[in-house]
Amino acid sequence: MKNAPLKLPEVRWVEPGRLTSGLDRHQRMDLSTHTRVNPPLPEPGREDLLALAEAVVLSGRGGAGFPFARKARAALATADRTGTAPVVVVNGTEGEPASAKDKMLLARVPHLVLDGACLAAAAFNAEEIVIAVAAGSPGEISVPAALAEREFPCPARTVSVPERFVSGESGALIRGINGLPVVPAPLKARAADGGSGGVRRRPTLLCNTETWAQLAVAARLGADAYAAVGTADEPGTALLTVNRPGADPLVVEVPTGTQLGPVLEACGLQPGTGVLVGGYHGAWLHPSVAFDAPLSRAGLAALGGTLGAGAIVALPDDTCPLGETARVATWLATESAGQCGPCKRGLPEAAEALATLAAGAAEPSALEGARRALGAAQAGGACSHPDGTARFLLTALDVFSEDVDAHLSGPGCGRPVRGVLPLPHAEGARLTVDWSRCTGHGLCAVLAPDLMRLGPHGYPTSRTIPVAPWQEHDACRAVNQCPALAIRLHRRG
């Protein structure tokens, strides 16, 4: 591992770290270093481990915040009823571009994550441990090396899935582990129930990387010591990814309930024009409330926000907020699976409206149409992607309301779009329209209705249209059958 080309995220602390203990002295902790830094791992039984998780109020750290003990009990109830051993899954895919905490854990302290998975596998008599990582991520190198260093209570393996935003959705990930396309299942099925929702139809306990690491920390400390920091309702610490313009993100460990302002200051940042908390399924906070916002799920919920996966972006004053939001809206629309109405129509329409608004060419009616589309997208999709995207965009329109007015009433705010909100470097596929050739036949809108929208005179409303993977077939039809040869498809890369 000494010569492995790992990119190791930098770590900081507001108070002495737990999950990050030892990283002030070691870049990456192999098994021997891990055992020197951490005390021996206990071996609690089934009920003891469940009681510990309940006592420390351990919840999922991937975004949804579902209680670990409740999820585990559901999987165990299925296992007991069917006589089938459960499968333990570590979700380390982290398709959120603004988040690096799981990459940090898998790259720098992989054995802490594996400790948590092994605790559950041993206590629950699991059939297998599966660690899912994103293709090309540090975990693809670090985790197999860690697996080779230690013994496990059951077979353990690594699975790589495409690095896409929807790959981390639980149903999509389980489909990927089962060898199916990595997209959310058309019909929702609980992993804990096994069947079509589980790994090889077994009851499945799937948790985020940080969740498993937190379980290992709690087992070593015990419930009382674990709850010595944090809030009464959400004891312990949390990992945050603080994004910085023009620099790599920082992973910061803080006690839950810590105010956001001191965390930003410790990273050399100010709230700017607004702060995004929770990543691209999170919510924007106005600068007037951001500084004192408590970094806990309950504290942020009271402000209309969400902790989500803990990704934070403070938007500086020298970039256009609407332009930044529009970039991400377009990306989120193309990252969907395209399996339900909100993703096929609602998100692309909203992204197009945001792009038009950022360009200073939108009418108030178009903005209201985008709001309606996003409102309809909430709670109407096959997964949480439309809901999270709607929250991200609707809170942006509220927090940046002055900029919205400036873009509606004139040429805009006058600031460039600096690309502060992080996105993958690879450019997505897109259609472009050659206006010198287009004669307004309108056939493209018939062949690719989810892509091409026509204005009142029969011409496409946009010159550049992003294309999601599920839209490429229709995009090719529109290109090949355009009578004027006015459309071009530019592939990803």
Q: Quick one: which H or E segment has residue 243?
A: strand 237-244
Using alpha carbons only, give the angle 285, 227, 61 rounded to the nearest 5 degrees: 45
Given the candidates 1.20.1440.230, 1.20.1530.20, 3.30.1360.120, 3.90.1150.10, the CATH classification of the domain at 321-409 is: 1.20.1440.230
What average pLDDT score do residues 144-151 get? 97
Per the DSSP assignment, residues forming a β-bridge with 87 are 128, 204
Mean pLDDT score, 411-438: 85
Over residues 360-408, the pLDDT tens digits come to 777 787 778 778 877 777 766 667 788 889 999 999 999 999 999 988 8
Identity at 449, one-letter amino acid code: P
Closest CA to 102 of 19, 217, 200: 19
Q: What is the pLDDT of residues 218-240, one digit of tens each?
A: 999 999 999 999 999 999 999 99
Three-state DSSP at 80 gives helix
Q: Which residues pair with 465 in a beta bridge?
A: 431
The percentage of residues in the chain with a pLDDT greater than 90, rounded to a whole number, is: 63
Write down the CATH number for the domain with range 430-490.
3.30.70.20
What pLDDT was estimated at residue 4? 45
Q: Name the fold adopted by 239-315.
A: Ubiquitin-like (UB roll) (3.10.20)
Going by C-alpha positions, the residue among 160, 162, 161, 165 that lies closest to residue 95 is: 165
Q: Read off the pTM.
A: 0.89
Residue 441 has pLDDT above 60, yes or no: yes
Check pLDDT > 90 for residue 451. no
Whether the pLDDT of residue 342 is over 90: the answer is no
How much is the pLDDT for 398?
94
- What is the pLDDT of the chain when averaged over all its residues? 90
CATH 3.10.20.600 boundaries in the chain = 239-315
Q: What are the helix (H) ranges across 344-467?
A: 347-358, 364-377, 385-399, 401-409, 443-447
Decide if 20 contacts 253 (C-beta within 8 A): yes
Confidence check: pLDDT of 427 > 80 = no
Q: Where are the alpha helices (DSSP H) in 124-228?
A: 139-147, 170-177, 209-221, 223-226
Which pLDDT does position 2 carry in this prediction? 43
Confidence of residue 426 (pLDDT cuts 50, 70, 90): low
Which residues of the chain are in CATH 3.30.70.20 domains?
430-490
Q: Could you tell me which of 411, 389, 388, 412 has the C-alpha nearest to residue 400?
A: 412
Residues of the chain with CATH 3.40.50.11540: 10-226
Condensed to tens digits (0 to 9), the pLDDT of residues 282-338 reads: 999 999 999 999 999 999 999 999 998 899 999 999 999 999 999 999 889 888 777
β-pair partners for 312: 242, 277
Q: Which of 280, 269, 274 is nearest to 303 (CA)?
A: 274
List, by residue range, all CATH 1.20.1440.230 domains of the chain. Answer: 321-409
Mean pLDDT score, 448-466:
82
Q: Is the pLDDT of residue 278 over 90?
A: yes
User: What tokens were used for 142?
Assistant: 């670090």
In 242-363, which residue ranges form alpha helices assigned H by DSSP? 260-266, 287-290, 297-301, 321-334, 341, 347-358
pLDDT above 60 for 112: yes
Helices (H), 178-284: 209-221, 223-226, 260-266
Q: What is the mean pLDDT of residues 121-125?
A: 98
End-to-end CA distance of the chain: 30
Choices 3.40.190.80, 3.40.50.720, 3.40.50.11540, 3.40.50.2300: CATH for 10-226: 3.40.50.11540
Separation between Cα atoms, residue 171 and residue 187, nearest integer Å = 9
